[in-house]
Amino acid sequence: MPEPASLDASLIVPFADAAPTERRTAAEERRRAALDDRKRSFLRMVSHELRTPLNAVIGFSEILSHELYGPLGAPQYREYAQIVHESGVKLLKLVNQIVEIARLEGHVTDIKMTPESLDEALEDVIEGLRPEIARREVIIHIIGQGALPLVIADSRGLRTMLSNLLQNAVTHSPAGGVVHVAAGRIGAEVEVTIRDQGPGVDSAELPRLLQPFEQGGSPLTRANEGVGLGLPIVDLLSRAMGGRLKLSSSLGAGFLARLILQAG
Is the confidence at residue 140, as pLDDT, over 70?
yes
Q: Is the pLDDT of residue 17 over 70?
A: no
Question: What does the alpha-carbon distance between residue 215 and residue 224 come to, in Å, rounded to a whole number?
Answer: 10
Residue 107 has what pLDDT? 65
Q: What percent of the chain has pLDDT over 70?
A: 79
Residue 149 half-sphere exposure toward CB, CA atoms < 13 A: 20
Q: Flag whether pLDDT at 232 surpasses 50.
A: yes
Q: Which residue has the higher pLDDT, 106 or 68?
A: 68
Residue 16: count other Cβ atoms within 10 Å of its Cβ: 10
- pLDDT over threshold 50, residue 178: yes
CATH class of 113-263: alpha beta
State the average pLDDT over residues 149-157: 94
Q: What is the mean pLDDT of residues 164-171?
A: 93
Does the pLDDT of residue 170 top 90, yes or no?
A: yes
d(CA 188, CA 183): 13
Q: What does pTM read for this prediction?
A: 0.71
115 DSSP β-pair partners: 152
For residues 199 and 174, what is the distance between their CA atoms, to the nearest angstrom? Answer: 9
pLDDT in tens, 111-137: 899 999 999 999 999 999 998 899 989
| Residue 47 buriedness (CB in 10 A; 0-12 / 13-18 / 19+) | middle
Q: Where are the domains of the chain?
A: 11-105, 113-263
